[in-house]
Amino acid sequence: MLRGLTTVTYFADDVPAAVRWYAEVAGAEPYFVRPEEGPPAYVEFRLGDLQAELGILDRRYAPAAPGPAGGGVVVYWAVDDARAAFERLLSLGATVHQEPIERGPGYVTASVVDPFGNVLGVMANRHYLDMVEGRPSA
């Protein structure tokens, strides 16, 4: 049975550049760097209320997947304001994947393509806020 998100892995040709970019996006530094000679092949952050893990992996280890941006998977990270987060990501060098869309009361999604070719989704999600604040969800 699925119990929740643990680690999301994004791929990059330039891991150090991706780490710098995501450190700026997240306002956090990685907690784990796989020791390597030369640039690291894998780096991991712990982010947000539930300390979900975001890994950056050298693209040479990526599985082969047809289609753009990793075969079409989009992971949405919880944010307080999806429109503001979307604009901030664009200001940091991401490009538009999908403009903000209201999916229902209390649910707004948007996504960008990061400078490394990965789709990064953001979502204002009423259920998520209810859960982390200990309120019953509607």
Pick the last residue of a domain from 12, 37, 60.
60
pLDDT beneath 70, residues of the chain: 1-3, 64-73, 137-138
Counted residue by residue, the chain has a size of 138
Domain count, the chain: 2
**pLDDT at position 38:** 77
Pick the last residue of a domain from 25, 60, 95.
60
Evaluate whether residue 138 is within a structural domain.
Answer: no
CA atoms of 19 and 55, how far apart (whole Å): 9
Tokens, residue 2: 């699925």
Residues 80 and 27 both lie in one domain: no
**For residue 105, what are the domain limits?**
69-133
Evaluate whether residue 14 is within a structural domain.
Answer: yes
**pLDDT at position 103:** 87
**pLDDT at position 21:** 98
**pLDDT at position 15:** 95
**Minimal CA–CA distance to 118: which of 25, 27, 56, 43?**
56
**pLDDT at position 138:** 58
**pLDDT at position 66:** 53
**pLDDT at position 65:** 59
Q: Mark 83-117 as b/e (b = at least 16 C-beta within 10 Å).
A: eebbebbeeeebeebeebeeeeeeebbbbbbbebe
Maximum distance among all Cα pairs of the chain, rounded to whole angstroms: 51
